[in-house]
Every structure is written in C-alpha cells, then in structure tokens.
Amino acid sequence: MDIPHNRPTFNHKETLAAQRVINSGWVAQGKRVEEFEAKFCDYVGLPHGHSVAVSSGSSALYIAILALEAKGRRIGLPVYTCAAVNNAVKLARSKSIFIDNSATGPNLDMGIANRTELHTLIAVSTFGIPLSIPVNRDYRVLEDISQALGANVGDQKLGVAGDIGICSFSATKLITTGGQGGMIFSSNKSLVEFARDYRDFDAREDRLPRFNFQMTDIQGAIGTAQLKKLPNFLQKREEIFEIYTDSGLNLEREAEDNLSAVRYRAVIRHKDPLKIKARLSTEGIKSIIPFTYHELLSTSSNEKNAVNYSNTTLSIPIYPTLSLKQARKIAKIVNKVMRMC
C-alpha cells in the first residue's frame, strides 16, 4: 500500500462535532464559529474577540489587506510561496513587490524587505519555520502562519508580532476545518472589527459593499475539535522529524536559537529531486516538490535563491497518522535512494 505525502487527521470527535451541528438545525455561521474564534484566541495568546473566522485562507488574506488599508499600495511578498498570496494582492488591486528567499532558508530575506519601499509586507513562515519580524520597521506586517500554527518566536506565539495575522485551515494544513477555512487575528481590535464588519455582509443598513466570506458552524465545530488536538499533532510530527534527522537526513529547519518551529514539512535538498521523487514512488512513497519553478510567483534574475530552492527541494511524508514504523521505513528508503542518485 502506498504511503501518501499528506492526509488530514480525523476520528470520531470531528464526526460527532459535525453531527451535533447538523442535529441542532443551525448550520450557518453561529455559536460554533464564535467558540472556534475564542479557542483560537486562547491558543495564540490574544483576548477573546480578537479573531475572525472566515471561509478560506485566501479570503483571510484579502480582508487583512483591506484592513491594513493596503489596497492599491506596494505589498512585499515572497516569491517562494503559494499562488493564493499573490492572488489576494491582485484582487485588492495592489502592487506585488516580490522578495527572494534568504540564501540559508525557505523564508523571504528580511534584509531585502527592509531595504525596499513597502506599505505592507506579507510575512509567510514557510514549512513551519518561523519568520522573525523586526520591531522597528517602516511598513505594516501581515503574518501568514498557515504552515506554522503553533510555532514560537522566543516566548511568543507566531502571528501576533505583526499588525495582523492570518491562518489557513485547508485540507493539507496543520489543522483543517473540513477542507477550507481561515482565521484573521490581531492585537489591534480596530483591525479585527473591520474584518468582522466586512465578513458580516447581510441585513446591513449602510449599503457599503461587503462580501460573504463567512465560515459555517460545521466548519467551526470541526476546527474546534482539531485545535484541541493540535498539541498532540505537533508532538507526533516532531517525533517523525526526529526519526528522519536521526537517520542522517538533513532536513530544512530553523537556524536561530530563539525560533521554535513546527514540522509542517519534512524537506530534503538534492540536486535532482525529480529523480528522487520518481524512485520513491516505485517504493510506494509519495513525495512532492513544494514549489516548482513554474509555481514561483516570479522568475526574474533577482530571485536566484527561490529558483535554487524550487530546483533542489523535495518534501517527504510527515503527518500525525503516519506511524513511527512507517517513518523509519521511509527514512531507510530515502537514505538508500539518495545514495544511489
């Protein structure tokens, strides 16, 4: 039986949570969404009322851009990230300013960001590795922790150092709200209230344009069940990561002592990742190129580090339902294949 690259982690608790909502007769946005928002605030260390659940990570990005008054402005974003980030910038009719990776990791180069004229920076923490935000800066910061929920910078949960944060709960993320979903959060209550006002589009008297980006109570209930399990999910991912590193695999990880990553991806580097991917597939192990060259948001001569990462990275399985026995098997096979290639 093939080992998939990724899979969501569900059991009877998510089933019961969704069933209770169905049985209640109220499935639209309601009390379960409010509960999920409150539990999320507890997790990241914010007061209740400082988060807004929405329909997807993409909608969270778009609303956060509007909240920061960045519509039509210069927005910095990593080249090495998913298309949803740039799509949100384009939807807001803002100007994308692409920033290369650092030479030593998958996150954007903060040195370049600090030297660039920006209104807002979308700071994505890639593969679960935290991107540390400078305290003194000339731009606003939108933190995207979709791949790094639960990571820390020092004693502080990732996502609250910037002006506003977002998180995606799509099917492949650290937790999911049933396939899609997102969260907007901030210590600045006025930004949160803007997001809430924009989301709650119906039965309004001022006729201002808004949009239906609401999360359903079924999503909220599943999200709350998943969030309770997140510490265990992260611990299991850490155990698998350690099996890989103990076997000799050199995986991408945090490079600074004050950063505490989560293991969203187990990423190896090789001169020919497509060959490794093909060989692993014959052994029943599925892997992916995290961002291929054609998926990069820009491929100009200024993004050499991102191009290098796209050409040399491969992500192998790491998720809570992967058994430690399977992880040891994967480590053994990956090491063997890399020696052969």
Nearest to 213 by CA among 39, 8, 59: 59
Judge if 127 and 265 occupy the same domain: no
Chain-centre distance for alpha carbon 199: 21
Main-chain dihedrals φ then ψ at residue 241, nearest 5 degrees: -60, -40
Judge if 198 and 288 occupy the same domain: no
Q: Tell me if 42 sits within 8 A of 150, measured CB to CB.
A: no
**Cross-strand bridge partners of residue 95:** 74
Judge if 170 and 76 occupy the same domain: yes
Cα atoms in the Cβ-side hemisphere of radius 13 Å centred on 317: 27
The model's pTM: 0.96
Separation CA 273–CA 311 (nearest Å):
7
- Angle at the Cα of 135 from the Cα atoms of 132 and 140, rounded to 5 degrees: 90
Separation CA 309–CA 79 (nearest Å):
11
Judge if 263 and 201 occupy the same domain: no
The answer to the question of residue 295 being in a domain is yes
Query: How many domains is the chain built from?
Result: 2
Q: Which two tokens stand for residue 42?
A: 């507890």
Main-chain dihedrals φ then ψ at residue 227, nearest 5 degrees: -65, -35
Judge if 240 and 185 occupy the same domain: no
Residue ending a domain, choose from 197, 224, 251: 224
The answer to the question of residue 1 being in a domain is no
Query: pLDDT 10s per residue in the chain (341 long)?
Result: 699 999 999 999 999 999 999 999 999 999 999 999 999 999 999 999 999 999 999 999 999 999 999 999 999 999 999 999 999 999 999 999 999 999 999 999 999 999 999 999 999 999 999 999 999 999 999 999 999 999 999 999 999 999 999 999 999 999 999 999 999 999 999 999 999 999 999 888 888 889 999 999 999 999 999 999 999 999 999 999 999 999 999 999 998 889 999 999 999 999 999 999 999 999 999 999 999 999 999 988 779 999 999 999 999 999 999 999 999 999 999 999 999 88
Judge if 243 and 114 occupy the same domain: no
Judge if 99 and 198 occupy the same domain: yes
The answer to the question of residue 2 being in a domain is no
253 lies in which domain range? 230-340
Residue ending a domain, choose from 194, 224, 254: 224
Judge if 45 and 176 occupy the same domain: yes
Separation CA 37–CA 31 (nearest Å):
10
**Cross-strand bridge partners of residue 298:** none
Q: Tell me if 226 sits within 8 A of 179, measured CB to CB.
A: no
| Dihedral, 54, 58, 61, 66 alpha carbons, nearest 10 | -80
